Amino acid sequence: MAKLVTIRCETGAEIQVEVEVLAGADLSGLDLHRALLEGCDLQGCRLLGARLRSARLDHANLSKADLREASMPACTAENTDFSGADLRGAFMRSAVFSGANFARADLGGASIGRADLRRAVLTGANLQCDGLADAQLEGAVADANTRWPDGFNPADHGVRFE
């Protein structure tokens, strides 16, 4: 029998999930509005279609997580590990991802306008997403394997190459 893990939210809400640990858990479709998940190990979590509006994910581990179609507007995820994560179709507008690691992450079709990606690691990431030209990318690091939208010039947005 799995134990209950409680996820607290700034709103005062508490979401109870019947899992041993959050890493690898299926949290698909949950309403995690303003969830307090700073520093949490969410590696390999399934968050398909989860609602993470204004969630706090700073310093969390979301590597290899499934965040397809997740709604993440205005969330804060500074210095968060999204390496190898699947963010296809995610709504990430106006979110703060400064210093986050998106190495080998797939953001294909994501909506990312006005997001803060300053100093983010974008090596090997698929950034063929909507609104990238409106995102803050100063000091972000990319490489030859990073994929960009057609016509997008990363150097014009302050991206450095390794």
CA 11, 30, 61, 100 dihedral sign is negative
The predicted model gives 12-33 an average pLDDT of 96
- Decide if 151 is inside a domain: yes
Residue 124 C-alpha from the chain's centroid: 15
Q: How many structural domains are present in the chain?
A: 1
122: buried, middle or exposed (CB in 10 Å: 19+, 13-18, 0-12)?
buried
Letter for the amino acid at 15?
I
The predicted model gives 31-46 an average pLDDT of 98
Q: So what's the pLDDT on residue 17?
A: 95
Across the chain, what does the average pLDDT equal?
A: 98
**Residue-range definition of the domain harbouring residue 126:** 23-162
Q: So what's the pLDDT on residue 51?
A: 98
Q: Which CATH number does the domain housing residue 114 bear?
A: 2.160.20.80
Q: Is the pLDDT of residue 1 over 70?
A: no
- Predicted structure pTM score: 0.97
- Decide if 33 is inside a domain: yes
SS3 59: coil
The predicted model gives 8-28 an average pLDDT of 96
Q: Is the pLDDT of residue 142 over 80?
A: yes
Task: Give the total residue count for the chain.
Answer: 162
Asked if 72 and 90 count as a contact pair (C-beta separation under 8 A), the reply is: yes
- Give the closest residue to 125 by CA, choosing from 107, 104, 143: 104
Q: Tell me: the pLDDT tens digits for 71-119?
A: 999 999 999 999 999 999 999 999 999 999 999 999 999 999 999 999 9
The CA distances from residue 112 to 30, 74, 141, in Å, are 21, 11, 17
- Give the 3-state DSSP-derived string for 71-120, with helices as H, strands as E and coil as C: ECCCCECCCCECCCCECCCCECCCCECCCCECCCCECCCCECCCCECCCC
Q: So what's the pLDDT on residue 133?
A: 98
